[in-house]
Homo-oligomer: A and B are copies of this chain.
Amino acid sequence: MGRPRSEEARRAVLDAAYAILVETGLGRFSTEAVASRSGVARTTIYRWWPTRGLLAIESFLDAFRAQLVYAETGDPLTDFRALLDSLVRVLSGPAGLVAASVMAEAQSDPETRRVFLEVFSVPLRRESARLLGRGIEGGVLRADLDLAVVLDAAVGAVYMRLLLGQPLDADWSNRLADTVLRGCLPGPDR
């Protein structure tokens, strides 16, 4: 009952949060700043986003979702490359700063880490694993592939460059895919 939640306020908060993260990073990302920028009262923000981290995550996902391409050409290797490339492309833009902010926040707030894993990291891994799995089934990838570790290496490289502030671009993304996939091809142990 009572007055329904204001969608207007929700949008204003998420937009302001995203903008602040993109423009100035975590440093100036305070409830105070979001409130003043969005014109929404601080109390209202606290009501719906109990912690800074959760607000950051939501504003990130909100902007990130649907930007990631889960294309399906039939060729698992091509699809995997495309997925990696898509990830890199998105993270090289403003959303990258927001993602990095969320990971930083996660270091001091376990709840933020949990939600980040759950809503972003795990689904991404699941999809990637599915593609590689189809490669195995199709015989284009080694049957004894250590899937988890391959994904750690591929995705970890992206995260690392993001967090260290090193450039992410399509060329690098291709070289990453080359390097990772080369170890996944079938063939004799040399």
The CA-CA distance from A105 to B116 in the complex, in Å, is 18
Identical chains in the assembly: 4
Q: Nearest chain-B residue to A101 (Cβ)?
A: B107
Q: Nearest chain-B residue to A150 (Cβ)?
A: B179
Q: Nearest chain-B residue to A160 (Cβ)?
A: B156
Q: Which of B26, B179, B190 contacts A146 (CB 8 A)?
A: B179
Task: Indicate if A74 sits at the interface (CB-CB under 8 A).
Answer: no
Task: Indicate if A159 sits at the interface (CB-CB under 8 A).
Answer: yes
Task: Indicate if A17 sits at the interface (CB-CB under 8 A).
Answer: no
Q: Which of B156, B172, B175 contacts A159 (CB 8 A)?
A: B156
A149-190 contacts to B (CB < 8 Å): 149-150, 152-161, 163-165, 172, 175-176, 178-187, 190
Question: Known contacts A149-B179, A172-B149: does B156 contact A107 (CB below 8 Å)?
Answer: no
**Size bracket, chain A contacts:** 35 or more
Q: Nearest chain-B residue to A29 (Cβ)?
A: B108
Interface flags for A115-147 (1: CB within 8 Å of B; 0: not) read: 011000100000000000000000000000010
Whether the pair A106, B179 counts as a contact (CB closer than 8 A) is no
Which of A117, A149, A155 has most B Cβ within 10 Å?
A: A149
Q: Which of B105, B108, B160 contacts A160 (CB 8 A)?
A: B160
Task: Indicate if A100 sits at the interface (CB-CB under 8 A).
Answer: yes
Question: Known contacts A160-B152, A164-B121: does B26 contact A108 (CB below 8 Å)?
Answer: yes
Task: Indicate if A15 sits at the interface (CB-CB under 8 A).
Answer: no
Task: Indicate if A4 sits at the interface (CB-CB under 8 A).
Answer: no
Q: Name the 5 nearest CB pairs between A and B, nearest first.
A: A183-B183, A156-B160, A156-B156, A156-B157, A104-B107
A153-B154, A179-B183 known, 7 other contacts, Cβ within 8 Å: A149-B172, A149-B176, A152-B157, A155-B160, A156-B159, A156-B160, A159-B159
